[in-house]
Amino acid sequence: MRIPFIAGNWKMNTTVGEAEKLVKEMVIPLDAIGGIEKVLCPPFVSLLSVKKIIQGFDVGLGAQNMYFELKGAYTGEISPLMLGELCEYVILGHSERRLYFGEVDDLINRKVRASLDNGLKPILCVGEKPDEKEEGRTEEVIGRQLRGALSGIEPTVKLTVAYEPVWAIGTGKAASGEQATVTVDFIREVVAGLWNREVASGVRVLYGGSVTASNVGEFVASSGIDGALIGGASLRSEEFVSIVSRTADLKGAR
């Protein structure tokens, strides 16, 4: 049984004050929606403040990135040990990290390993770029990203994979429910091939890319899609709450 899952990726938005305001707006309505996991991923500098506000509520916390070393002379980086005290999840391999910060599969693999070794649950993002989609290379690209990121990693249902086609992120042009379903099923097949079918059937796979309250139903109606990773719409409290609520309803979670 996979528990439905909605995560909000706030990206590089909100000052500490703004993050506190945003989480205060949504924590009570989010807490009231049962049978579904909801996780907020604010910027690093707001993790502690947000953690204090969600304490005692049924809302989880995640970071947006992490370095793989535990400590040392890595100016500007954040380690799994630091995150371990603050949150449960960490987004890794987001396409914006790959695009703007040169992250490659090998680095992402080290991060995935370090997260799991230190008790964090990785949300691994994969997805094809627009030209790769046009060239019909979606499965080739995603297969490579998954094999790279999961190389040498012990099978675990602590992994969540987010399918985020790059052409759909922040563009208002979401994939169709059908497109997302085909690729999410492919992702679970690849994980089954790399690990085994039993673990793969327990690994949650999300869709991400221009998800809103009005289109989330298209994705979560699919039995293989366990929820969504929300960017822009997670910065609007009402919208985010209704995404969670619609997902819980459609998944029959409450």
Question: What is the footprint of ligand PGA within residues 210-239 (CB under 6 A)?
Answer: 210-211, 229-233
Question: What is the footprint of ligand PGA within residues 2-61 (CB under 6 A)?
Answer: 9
Beta bridge partners of 61: 40
For residues 66 and 83, what is the distance between their CA atoms, to the nearest angstrom? Answer: 8
**In the complex with ligand PGA, which residue's Cβ is closer, 210 or 242?**
210
- Are residues 247 and 6 in contact, defined by beta-carbon separation less than 8 angstroms? yes
Residue 178 appears among annotated catalytic residues: no
- Are residues 239 and 211 in contact, defined by beta-carbon separation less than 8 angstroms? no
**In the complex with ligand PGA, which residue's Cβ is closer, 1 or 12?**
12
For residues 249 and 36, what is the distance between their CA atoms, to the nearest angstrom? Answer: 10
Question: From the CB of 125, what's the least distance to ligand PGA, in Å?
Answer: 7
Q: Is 31 exposed, middle or buried (0-12, 13-18, 19+ CB in 10 A)?
A: middle
Question: What is the footprint of ligand PGA within residues 165-194 (CB under 6 A)?
Answer: 169-170
37, 128, 164, 239: residue in contact with ligand PGA (rule CB under 6 A): 164
**Active-site residue (options: 37, 103, 128, 164):** 164
Residue 164 appears among annotated catalytic residues: yes
For residues 106 and 149, what is the distance between their CA atoms, to the nearest angstrom? Answer: 7
**In the complex with ligand PGA, which residue's Cβ is closer, 79 or 212?**
212
Tokens 């439905």 identify what position? 4
**Active-site residue (options: 94, 103, 128, 218):** 94
- What is the contact surface with ligand PGA in residues (CB under 6 A)? 9, 164, 169-170, 208-211, 229-233
